[in-house]
Amino acid sequence: MALDSSIRILHRIRRQYVQAKALLYALQALAVVAVGVAVLYKWQFEVPVFAATAIAIMLAAVVYFGMRWSSIRETDLQQVARHLNRQYPQLEDSTGLLLRDSGSLNLLERLQQQRIVATLQELHPEKEKAFSLRSTATYVALGLALVLSAGILYLPAAPLASTDAPKEIQVEFPDAPPVATDTATVIEKIDITITPPAYTGKSTYQAESPNIRVEEGAAVSWRIRTNKPAKTLQLVLNEDVAADFTAEGEAYTLSRRFSEPAVYHLNLNGQKSAFYTIEITPDEPPVIQVQQPKQYTEILFGEPQRVNLQAQLTDDYGIREANMIATVAKGSGEAVKFREEKISLGLSGTRRSFAVNQTLDLQQLGMTYGDELYFYVQAWDNHRGYTRSETYFVQIEDTTIVEASFDMSMGVNPVPEYFRSQRQIIIDTEKLLEEQKSISRTAFEERSNNIGVDQKLLRLRYGKFLGEESESGIGPGGGIPEGEEGHEAEQHSADDGHDHPEFENQNDPQALLDPYMHKHDQEGEATIFEPAVKAKLKGALAQMWEAELRLRTHKPKEALPFEYKALRMLKEVQQSQRAYVAKTGFEAPPLKEPELRLSGELDKITPLSERQTIKAETKLPHTRAALDWLERYKRQGKYRQQDVQVLEQAGQELAQQALNRPGNYLRALQDLRSLISDMNSGEALCPSCLRTVEQAWVALLPPAEKTPQPQRVQRGKLAQEYRKQLQQ
């Protein structure tokens, strides 16, 4: 019986746990639903966005409660037992024994089961509430939700309900006479529809104000509804072009396409509205920014013959096409040939921004040493915009050409033709490395040795220019010529106290003449080149020796750097070693200026008889006339009906200037319209309108030319008295 009561306690704890959890989740869902109900009750379905949001909030709360309820319903007695073990240490983690059959337990487990039954009865009596959940955060959230719902119910709904409603366009008629509303023709509603051109990719939209800003080439349509049929309804552009509206049922429509800015007003039965502007957003051409390569790029011998092109192309509405035009120049002088090729940049579709990262393989373009590449990037947008970048130059260095200058002198190149063979050795070495895997080891070593022999022969040829007529001057240090070892030994013995050899051979005439002879056929005395050039040539021979050593030992890959360095040094020798012979020119004798000056005959020179008078055109004549009228009105305070024509003509000139700067003159145009209305009705003119119009007219006039003014000398009393005495 005690075991059955314990099982009942476990069932009661489970039931109370499920009820407490369900209440907790219900309160959380209720807090969310309260906010959704308040929003839906306040605005109902007048604002679709708010209604959809409120319904989504309530559905989410219901789904949340359903998912939680299905999870807590699956709570079994095993979970209750584990919860009691965690909650009460007195149960010694043995509550699970209550759920097992006593017949399957051993003696120790049955004793422990009896102890747990007694302990559980003490902790949770039969009729005591065993479980309750209290979540402070849940109650706080519920309270905040109720406060928020109450605040939503007291918010004004009118401003939010009209957020998506189209804004009504109002057109003012400042010079309309005060007549009865039942007899006057007035505008009830006006809609301005803007249809952007196709190149923008935009859809049709409605304007929110009579002052509109449209894309270049956009179509603007006015649809006006009046309370009564209008006798005259016109759209006046820039004070000189009037277009009549077309009656369609109960409305009047007019559509025009604009590519230039304009100022317009409506003419309804002779009543002119205020001035409004049409501003144009021009279509900008594509923008091309080339980051790589530089404006001029030279690819040196041995470098990869590739150029990396990095560019950024942008446009306000979209780039339709982009490519690169590459021109390859081959040859020199009159035999130069050009070949143009169009290269796609990989643009697909229309993009507002496009990044180019492309590698140009110059060998695929058919270029070789000495050729030049000229290229530029060009792009088109969806309209008429076209842009091309600057021209970029890429040149592959040609080591076979020796540069010469013919600026006021004649150059002589003393360098022999076989200086270019070092380049052939490099080409043979690179070809050997490329074919290394396809040939046998024996053939590879033989070809490497043959290239080393060619390098040796070339080194010996260069050595002749330094006086080396044998193979003694080899090695990085230039080697020691034959006979120098003995010379050094003799020098060493002289330093030890022995006599100098030149004093031992005093009877030899050759020894006596050696210090005074200019020798050209010895290694150390070669004077074909200057010392600086000779040092570079010696360095090139040292690099050739290093390359020959590695070629002879079958290591052509290690020989390549030394071959390149030798070629570079030889190139420097070619560019620096030149001889020039200055040209002889004719030197004119000095002129006898004092004898010939002003001694020419002038009898055949006739004076200019044709004359032309150019009248200076007066700018803004009507504006100047209006300013004169304004000065008279300030003095007299009167005006005539004929003065309206003066203001009308000045207003046309002001409207023309307002096309470029509508923000500066639009207010002045509206005040000018008010002045004309006052003059037509015979009323007093508006003082503030006069000031605004005067400032605009003065700003239109060009600055006055500065003219010299007479200077008035202020004389003192003493000077005036002295002057009177002199006059007497």
Q: Give the residue-averaged pLDDT of 567-577.
A: 78
Q: In terms of domains, do 426 and 373 share one?
A: no
Q: In terms of domains, do 211 and 151 share one?
A: no
Confidence band for 173, pLDDT divided at 50, 70 and 90? confident
Look at residues 310, 219, 302 and name the one whose alpha carbon lies nearest to residue 257: 219
Domain membership flag for residue 499? no
**What integer pLDDT is reported at residue 194 of this predicted model?**
92
Confidence band for 288, pLDDT divided at 50, 70 and 90? very high
pLDDT tens digit sequence for 79-91: 777 777 777 677 7
Alpha-carbon span 210 to 191, nearest angstrom: 9
Amino acid at 581: V
**What integer pLDDT is reported at residue 279 of this predicted model?**
87
Domain membership flag for residue 149? yes
Alpha-carbon span 551 to 445, nearest angstrom: 9
Confidence band for 312, pLDDT divided at 50, 70 and 90? very high
Confidence band for 139, pLDDT divided at 50, 70 and 90? low
Confidence band for 166, pLDDT divided at 50, 70 and 90? low
Query: Worst-scoring range by mean pLDDT, 182-186, 205-209, 676-680, 684-688?
Result: 182-186
Q: In terms of domains, do 423 and 561 share one?
A: yes
**What integer pLDDT is reported at residue 167 of this predicted model?**
64
Contact indicator for 280, 260 with CB cutoff of 8 Å: yes
**Residue 340 pLDDT greater than 60, yes or no:** yes
Q: What is the CATH number of the domain that holds 329?
A: 2.60.40
Give percent of the chain with pLDDT exceeding 70: 71
Alpha-carbon span 725 to 452, nearest angstrom: 117
Alpha-carbon span 207 to 193, nearest angstrom: 6
Place of tokens 């379905």: 45
Angle subtended at Cα 47 by Cα 44 and Cα 52, rounded to the nearest 5 degrees: 75
**Residue 209 pLDDT greater than 50, yes or no:** yes
Q: In terms of domains, do 110 and 8 share one?
A: yes
pLDDT tens digit sequence for 692-710: 888 888 887 877 666 666 6
pLDDT tens digit sequence for 603-635: 777 776 666 666 656 678 888 888 888 888 888
**Residue 585 pLDDT greater than 70, yes or no:** no
Q: Give the residue-averaged pLDDT of 228-249.
A: 84
**Residue 245 pLDDT greater than 80, yes or no:** yes
**What integer pLDDT is reported at residue 302 of this predicted model?**
76
Pairing of strands 212-215, 276-281: parallel
Structural domain ending residue among the three candidates 137, 158, 179: 158
Q: Give the residue-averaged pLDDT of 120-148.
A: 65
Alpha-carbon span 192 to 224, nearest angstrom: 9
**Residue 274 pLDDT greater than 50, yes or no:** yes
Place of tokens 């859809």: 203
Query: Worst-scoring range by mean pLDDT, 379-388, 390-399, 535-544, 668-677?
Result: 668-677
Three-class SS state of 531: helix
Domain membership flag for residue 368? yes
Amino acid at 519: K
The more confident residue out of 244 and 92 is: 244
Domain membership flag for residue 54? yes
Domain membership flag for residue 56? yes
Q: Give the residue-averaged pLDDT of 480-497.
A: 40
Handedness of CA 578, 579, 582, 583 (dihedral sign): negative
**What integer pLDDT is reported at residue 626 of this predicted model?**
84
Structural domain ending residue among the three candidates 235, 257, 281: 281
Q: In terms of domains, do 13 and 152 share one?
A: yes
Q: In terms of domains, do 436 and 567 share one?
A: yes
Q: In terms of domains, do 90 and 194 share one?
A: no
Give the list of residues 6+ apart from residue 53 with CB closer than 8 angstroms, or none.
36, 39
Query: Worst-scoring range by mean pLDDT, 75-89, 256-270, 523-537?
Result: 523-537
Alpha-carbon span 6 to 99, nearest angstrom: 9
**What integer pLDDT is reported at residue 323 of this predicted model?**
92
The more confident residue out of 360 and 170 is: 360
Domain membership flag for residue 706? no
Virtual torsion, Cα 528, 533, 537, 543, nearest 10 deg: 170
**What integer pLDDT is reported at residue 715 of this predicted model?**
65
Q: In terms of domains, do 67 and 200 share one?
A: no
Number of domains in the chain: 5
**Residue 265 pLDDT greater than 70, yes or no:** yes
**What integer pLDDT is reported at residue 377 of this predicted model?**
93
Q: Which two tokens stand for residue 116?
A: 């747990």
Virtual torsion, Cα 436, 439, 444, 446, nearest 10 deg: -150
Q: Please provide the average confidence, as pLDDT, over all residues in the chain.
A: 76
Q: In terms of domains, do 558 and 685 share one?
A: no
pLDDT tens digit sequence for 328-338: 988 776 677 88
Q: Please, what's the largest Cα pairwise distance for the chain?
A: 160
- Select, from the ranges 284-288, 461-465, 686-690, the one with the highest average predicted confidence (pLDDT): 284-288
Alpha-carbon span 531 to 522, nearest angstrom: 15
Q: Give the residue-averaged pLDDT of 415-419.
A: 46
**What integer pLDDT is reported at residue 411 of this predicted model?**
43
Q: In terms of domains, do 529 and 465 share one?
A: yes
Q: Give the residue-averaged pLDDT of 443-465.
A: 87
Letter string b/e over residues 263-277, b meaning 16 or more CB atoms within 10 A of that residue's CB: bbbbbbeebbbbbbb
Domain membership flag for residue 560? yes
Q: Give the residue-averaged pLDDT of 553-564.
A: 91
Q: In terms of domains, do 371 and 431 share one?
A: no
- Give the total residue count for the chain: 728
Count other C-beta atoms under 10 Å from residue 475's C-beta: 13
**Residue 313 pLDDT greater than 90, yes or no:** yes
**What integer pLDDT is reported at residue 424 of this predicted model?**
87
**What integer pLDDT is reported at residue 311 of this predicted model?**
93
Angle subtended at Cα 514 by Cα 510 and Cα 517, rounded to the nearest 5 degrees: 115
**Residue 54 pLDDT greater than 70, yes or no:** yes
Look at residues 23, 26, 51 and name the one whose alpha carbon lies nearest to residue 37: 51
279 pairs with which residues across the strands?
Answer: 213
**Residue 181 pLDDT greater than 60, yes or no:** no
pLDDT tens digit sequence for 642-658: 888 888 888 877 777 77
Residue 220, Cβ density class (10 Å: 0-12 exposed, 13-18 middle, ≥19 buried): buried
**Residue 140 pLDDT greater than 80, yes or no:** no
- Select, from the ranges 51-55, 386-390, 676-680, the one with the highest average predicted confidence (pLDDT): 386-390
The more confident residue out of 720 and 522 is: 720
Alpha-carbon span 208 to 180, nearest angstrom: 29
Q: In terms of domains, do 295 and 388 share one?
A: yes
Domain membership flag for residue 406? no
The boundaries of the domain holding residue 428 are 417-482+517-577
Q: Long-range contacts of range 644-647, CB-CB < 8 Å, 24 or more positions apart?
A: 644/676, 644/679, 644/680, 646/622, 647/672, 647/675, 647/676, 647/679
- Select, from the ranges 238-242, 490-494, 581-585, the one with the highest average predicted confidence (pLDDT): 238-242
**Residue 1 pLDDT greater than 60, yes or no:** no
Query: Worst-scoring range by mean pLDDT, 34-43, 228-237, 508-517, 538-547?
Result: 508-517
Confidence band for 498, pLDDT divided at 50, 70 and 90? very low
Contact indicator for 643, 678 with CB cutoff of 8 Å: no
